[in-house]
Amino acid sequence: MLENIRIVLVNTTHPGNIGGVARAMKNMGLSDLCLIEPRRFPHADASARAAGADDILTNATVVESLEDALADCHLVVGTSARSRTIPWPLVNPRELAAIVTPLPSTTRVAIVFGREDRGLTNEELQRCHQHVHIPVNEQFSSLNLAAAVQVITYEMRMAQECDVSDAKPRWGTEWDVDLADGRELERLFDHFEEALTEIDFLDPDKPRNLMPRLQRLLLRAVPDKIEVNILRGMLTAIQKGCRR
């Protein structure tokens, strides 16, 4: 399970923090690190703070966008300091471990960490199935990036190694179909946007919260591949119907 968890860092400013994250990951048995446009990387500060976790840095993927980072991921979790404009499913690190641990072994999970100074944007957070929040002292709530990764990966390891969770499979039963990955969900949401615009339900000039609300609804359910195909088929039928 730990090998299937990707740590995604968005626009990290200090290369030392990337090294600290690599060390925390390796301490907990994770290895998949993905960097979205880091300010400076590779960098001597990263290697110094990695303190021997250089392999994690060497094998890190550097990409340009969140879409690239999440393309093959089935469950995306965003780290969030506070509640946002519309509520989103929010768990603490232990609850997250209880969700992730029972998933089928083919499930690829991404945990996304934001910028040192201002975290993730609303738009980035809306790409996530789940948000996770570390219960900090509200009077001093800014965690160091590597510290946040340490706590969350510690919980993942505890759940796997120390068998403390009485976690049940997510839906209490074996699923018969693979879950949709990030690329498939991305296409689905694009298709929704396109079709809903064609039938004048979505006004691109006044989108309100329509797409975030639809995304949140569907992400909460964590759709499988057949379900995504059904929705895509429905959208195509809508477009054909309107073009007649």
Site for its own copies in 3-42 (CB under 8 A): 20, 23-24, 26-29
Residues 82-101 that bind its own copies (CB under 8 A): 83, 86-95
Residues 174-203 that bind its own copies (CB under 8 A): 174-176, 196, 198-201
Q: Which residue's CB is nearer to its own copies, number 61 or number 83?
A: 83
CB of 105 to its own copies, least distance (A): 19
CB of 68 to its own copies, least distance (A): 27
Nearest in space to 17 (alpha carbons), one of 117, 93, 111, 96: 117
Cα separation, 184 vs 207, whole angstroms: 22
For helices 225-243 and 182-198, give the axis angle rounded to 10 degrees.
20
Nearest in space to 114 (alpha carbons), one of 28, 51, 37, 5: 37
The verdict on 207 binding its own copies (CB under 8 A) reads no
- b/e sequence 103-115, b meaning 16+ C-beta within 10 Å: beeebbbbbbbbb
Q: Which residue's CB is nearer to its own copies, number 68 or number 165?
A: 165
Q: Which residue's CB is nearer to its own copies, number 131 or number 191?
A: 131
Nearest in space to 77 (alpha carbons), one of 59, 62, 93: 93
The verdict on 53 binding its own copies (CB under 8 A) reads yes
Tell me the two tokens of residue 85: 């404009």
Q: Which residue's CB is nearer to its own copies, number 37 or number 237?
A: 237
Neighbouring residues of 232: CB distance < 8 A, sequence distance ≥ 6? 187, 188, 191
147, 167, 189, 225: which one binds its own copies (CB under 8 A): 147
The verdict on 122 binding its own copies (CB under 8 A) reads no
Find the part of the chain contacting its own copies (CB under 8 A) among 57-65, 68-76, 100-108, 173-181.
Answer: 173-181
Q: How far apart are the first and last CA of the chain?
A: 49
Neighbouring residues of 189: CB distance < 8 A, sequence distance ≥ 6? 211, 214, 215, 218
CB of 40 to its own copies, least distance (A): 18
From residue 27, give the alpha-carbon distance in Å to each of 31, 47, 54. Answer: 10, 15, 12
37, 67, 72, 161: which one binds its own copies (CB under 8 A): 161
Q: Which residue's CB is nearer to its own copies, number 37 or number 203?
A: 203
